[in-house]
Amino acid sequence: FAKSADAGAVIASPSTSNPDYYYQWTRDSSMVFKVLLYSYLNGNSSIDTFLRELATESDKLQRTSNPSGGPRCSGAGIGEPKFYVNGAAYTGGWGRPQNDGPAIRATVLIKFASVLLDAGETSYKKDPSQTVIKNDLEYVANYWQVSGFDLWEEVQGQHFFNYMVQQRALIEGAELATRLGDTGAATWYNQQAAAIKAALPSFWSSNRGYLISTLNTGRNGLDCGTLLGSLHGNGKRGFGVYPASSDEVLVTLHKLVDVMQPLYPINTAPNAPGIAIGRYSSDAYDVSGVGTSIANPWFICTFTVAETLYTAINQFNARGSIIISATSLSFYQKFLSSVTAGTYSSSTSTYTTIVNNMKAYADSFIATGQTHARSNGSLSEQFSRTDGLQKGARDLTWSYASFLALKWARDGNTAF
């Protein structure tokens, strides 16, 4: 058991120095909670107690006053990004607020609540002001327009990833509110979700030909976080806004990989199994802090490219066709150079060739991760751009969660 940790705490990493990640982040914890819940939904009943402990810990953190503000009732304190593993507030300097964590946590807890309600449990029918879900949703609905930090905790502004997960949380939150008879809240959440949906097209840059991660910054905007936003903002269900199979997401993936390929020496090694992917091309966070050097590839980002490709394939299969436009043509020509714009049904040889080649390409990103994993399967935060050895926080829980998510997507079972 982790030293001094609450039963429901998800520790980002056991590393306590260089870097110190022995904390619980709302975002990271929710990403882990999501894969655990998906495992539970697929028959792993042994983790029922731990899932309830995770929910209890979330309640505790919401009740904890912190530098972002007071506790509960949609207060600004819900946007506090990280806490000590015993649930105490972290009062040091940090990038505050971070508005994505409450949205992801709400999405996971909404699913968990729905499962419990289906089973006849009534614990989620109490006073709404006393539920984690309600408070997260009220925070998202009231603060989504407020400038916050990105998922990498570096840039303050308006972010694609945040908007995507916030829209999803509000839509699903409205559905749960309707089920529980809170029609006023449902209307409010749907109104705010619609406003986010209307704002999302501003992240598409027609001049650059890809989705940018953050509005009005000096960066080029190509960022692994955009792919994560598509995945976690849609899930298996999808909300019709930038799913993995959309032209915009696929061309963004294509250009991100093209930028990353020459950036890291390990990508040009003779026996490289595939391309290692970092967060963004100008990243300078090289374990010890933000400096002037080129940073390293991340397991999360390398696996996210693979998961996006597998998810797109799953969506093609569900639709029964691939639709190629002038915008996405260059992406598809990577897998069949002679292909032209048009619609190709799943019964055509063109469809089969593209899908098979996309699967092989996606597998190469898994092979890259496997090459740089330790012999016991351990995954850190990063691996060196020059020799491939692991760097950064060891045993990063989000790295493991990202691998599980891509594994399920590869099997055709995209998580909820």
Residue 387 among the catalytic residues? no
Q: What is the pLDDT of residue 316?
A: 98
- pLDDT at residue 284 greater than cutoff 90: no
pLDDT in tens, 229-264: 999 999 988 888 999 999 999 999 999 999 999 999
Q: What is the pLDDT of residue 218?
A: 85
Residue 153 among the catalytic residues? yes
Is the domain 1-201 a CATH 1.50.10.10 member? yes
As a 3-state breakdown, the chain gives helix, strand, coil percent values, each rounded to 5, of 50, 10, 40
Q: Which member of 28, 150, 283, 395 is catalytic?
A: 150
Of residues 175, 117, 120, 166, the one with CA closest to residue 143: 166
What is the residue extent of each domain of the chain?
Answer: 1-201, 206-416
Q: What CATH fold (topology level) applies to the domain 206-416?
A: Glycosyltransferase (1.50.10)
Q: What SS3 state is found at 350?
A: helix
- Calculate the average pLDDT of the chain: 94
d(CA 104, CA 416): 12
Average pLDDT over residues 317-341: 98
3 residue type, one letter: K
Average pLDDT over residues 288-298: 72
Reported pTM: 0.96
* Burial of residue 333 (number of CB atoms within 10 Å: 0-12, 13-18, 19+): middle
Higher pLDDT, 120 or 258: 258
Quick one: CA torsion of 375, 381, 161, 92, rounded to 10 degrees?
150
Q: Which member of 59, 153, 154, 175 is catalytic?
A: 153
pLDDT in tens, 351-367: 999 999 999 999 999 99
Helix count (H) and strand count (E) of the chain?
A: 12, 10
Cα Dmax for the chain: 62
